Amino acid sequence: MKQTATNIDIIPQKILVNLPPTEELSAYDRNEKERKEILRRYRLILRHARERLKDDDAKKIKKAFEIAYEAHKDVRRKSGEPYIYHPLEVARIVVDEMGLGATSIVCALLHDVVEDTEIKLTDIEGQFGTKISKIIDGLTKIKDASDKSLSMQAENFKKMLLTISEDIRVVFIKIADRLHNMRTLESMPRDKQLKIKSETEYVYAPLAHRLGLYSIKSELEDLCLKFSDGHAYEDIEEKIRKTQPARDRFIKDFIKPIEEALKKQNFNFTIKSRLKSIFSIWNKMHKQGVAFDEVFDLFAIRVIVDVPIEDEKAACWRIYSTITDFYQPNPNRLRDWISFPKSTGYESLHVTVMSGIGQWVEVQIRTKRMDEIAEMGLAAHWKYKEKNGITTHDSGIEEWLKKVRESLEQKDVTALEFLDEFRRNLFSEEVFVFTPKGDLKTLQMGATILDFAFEIHTEVGAKCLGAKVNQRLVPLNYRLKSGDQVEILTSTKIKANEDWLKLVVTTKARNKIKEYIKDGKKDTIRDGKEIVLRKLKQMKLTLTHEILAQILDYFNVKSEPEFFYAVGKGTIDHTQIKKFQEKAEAEKLAKLSEVPMPEVPKIEKKSHKKEIKEIVVGGQTDRIEYALSQCCNPIPGDEIFGIVTVSKGIKIHRTGCPNAVDIMASFGDRIIKARWADDKSQVFDATLKIIGTDRVGLVSDVTRVISNQLKVNITSLAFEVHTGVFEGTISLSVYDTRQADEMTEQLGKIEGVVNVTRYNY
């Protein structure tokens, strides 16, 4: 049932009469302008959601808006805008860019009220019911953690995902929340930008990809690049703009014969081009070491046909046949995701063809339904599922959600371990394999027959001896390929062991193997304890805490279970247990012979954790201990940050460090600002890598430029030559990045040198 226009235009009265008459004109004008803008955004949400609203949905949205508006009315964002703009924009994103309905709109409007205001979850439940209060709970961050060594980001992320078992909309709203935060990140301080950007790159962009939100995933990645390397982002953006006219002419000529042919066949279709995202272009340039002009797949052509669901497959292959009548296809680049949809629900037929001017072009063929699922992911998939009944392709998404729930149900797994495991599965490609009866199973790329065995059944996996793949015997470490037919061989004599963990890639297999190992360890620990008790009884000793502490100290073992396990497994010979007593007696005699020494009072170290706002690196008046990280070797001029470690003080990293994203995404609450002091008295190590073509006198030229021309001290120098190509590593002492960059530039001018880069950058 569609909502009537009368209900849609319900306007919250509180917002119409909230301006005191005594305010100055300028403030009045500003507030009046903001009031109108708030109403405009609120009406826009209702208008765009009109088709999805039924019964009293509009009244619920109005009530949620009034609560949010009242709760946030005196709060402003860092940009200076009223805070209510944020929940309104999150609500608009879930409607316009995710295709969600009234429940999601209500939750988006209220997503910050419990965390940031006096409103409690019980208040939300009383007003809107249990379903909405559970979603809001999943969106509310944990206020504090009793264990300060925990990663708050990982704990909050795990808490959010726990709500998947209740309602997956919590994840969609969280992604919408993150998207708006990234769109407005400009107003945040630099350290906050890096933290939020790192979390987004580490978790939220991959999660959007896994849920099929490809447009949002691409935008999140682009924004991450914008705030990590703004110069590279702007450079690519400018080059895209300059090459647009030529690209438009090429596309027009390319699609002309296809359009004419499809019209003759009476297809209802549209053709559009899709430009590669700025991040994807940058990533390709970065990984393959190519310039912008050498990225030939800057865009793809998309043909979208509107046909009934039962005719989709035939229509897509007819269009494929038409396109290949005009352009020669590359048989190695055909991707049939219609017969074998991705587990995200993505369906499309991809073909790469040779254009008339000798350039490869990717053409994506899909239906209107497939395109909407590709743009809006899981939300659109379920919309079509409800409309048309169970489709043949919904098992992939539901299987993935089932695996997420299985991961969440694992006990004794820290939030960081869970986050690593979860993230490992987000971007993985897939293989399609068959059971002996012909049932299709989808596993992530790199899966072995052991992964397949655990996918079939836990007991099959635990007793897996090997397998027949396409009627041939293969070992446990065989990596499955799409199209393989697999028959698992089992034996009751086989037991899961720790070595198996190296052979599996799926979360399900890894978790089940760990469970079996844990159960086996319990038996071994029990056996070990019985052996120790018998041995102590022979020595006429009782197992007290004091004796156990002495034994652990003697064998240099950290915990009681670890010791009993080692004895039970035979790693520690039980005949050696009696020797701990000899050591204890020797230590006792030594203590008796010692001369008493006056006790030195302990000096309490003052904690800097609360006080440190910023650390100045390289200054003469440093009072805070820090160390430069070895993983990226920062030098003055590099943009840097500090991370407060649990046991090693403060570590200084470059923001471009290979580990920076992981560190900031997992431990953003421990990040502190850091900057270089204006101090030229210190030198820092920098390592350069040089690649080029070998010739006589090359090493001499390199050392001459460094030592004589640039006056820089070389600490080590190593060159290797393979079939005429040399590769050199030079370690130097420099003052700052300016000096390192100048050296890179000058060395690049030497004859034969092809590339000069700084290590760990």
Active site residues: 115-116
521-528, long-range: CB within 8 Å, 24+ apart, which pairs? 521/561, 521/565, 523/568, 524/564, 524/565, 524/568, 524/569, 525/561, 525/564, 525/565, 525/568, 526/564, 526/568, 527/568, 528/563, 528/564, 528/565, 528/566, 528/567, 528/568, 528/569
- Contact between 377 and 176 under an 8 Å Cβ cutoff? The reply is no
Alpha carbon distance 221, 215 (integer Å): 10
Residue 642 pairs with which residues in a beta bridge?
652, 672
Of 104, 72, 126, give the one whose Cα is nearest residue 171. 104
Tally the residues of the chain. Answer: 761
Angle at 235 between CA 758 and CA 178, to 5 degrees: 90
Residue 540 DSSP class = T
Cross-strand bridge partners of residue 726 = 692, 721
Tell me if residue 388 falls in helix, strand or coil: helix
Please, are residues 363 and 301 in contact by the beta-carbon 8 Å criterion? yes
C-alpha dihedral (412, 418, 424, 430), degrees to nearest 10: 70
Q: Where are the alpha helices (DSSP H) in 265-306?
A: 278-288
Tokens of 215: 């447009």
Cα 576 to Cα 560: distance, rounded to the nearest angstrom: 17
CB 151 within 8 A of CB 416: yes
CA 236, 237, 241 angle in degrees (round to 5)? Answer: 115
Q: Which residues contact 240 (CB under 8 A, 6 or more apart)?
A: 275, 278, 281, 298
* Cα 217 from Cα 277, distance rounded (Å): 10
Q: Whose structure tokens read 């890598």?
A: 689
Tokens of residue 464, six digits: 């897996």
CA distance 747 to 731: 14
| CA-to-CA separations, 339 to 346, 370, 432, 455, in angstroms, rounded | 11, 13, 11, 22
Residue 429 in tokens: 């490609």
Q: How far apart are CA 37 and CA 43, in angstroms?
A: 10
The whole-angstrom separation of Cα 723 and Cα 449 is 41
Q: Tell the residue number behind the tokens 């290949």, with chain if given.
A: 324
Task: In whole angstroms, give the CA distance from residue 721 to residue 68.
Answer: 67
| Amino acid identity for residue 167 in this structure | D
Phi, psi torsion values for 352, nearest 5 degrees: -110, 125
CA distances from 377 to 100, 313, 639 (A): 11, 20, 37
Residue 550's CB is within 10 A of a number of other CB atoms, namely 16
Which helix H or strand E contains 366, and what residues bound it?
strand 360-367
**270, 337, 264, 347: which is closest to 309 by C-alpha?**
347
Where would I find the beta strands (DSSP E) of 459-528?
Answer: 464-469, 472-474, 486-490
Q: Distance of CA 397 to CAs 93, 174, 391, 538, Å?
A: 22, 19, 12, 61
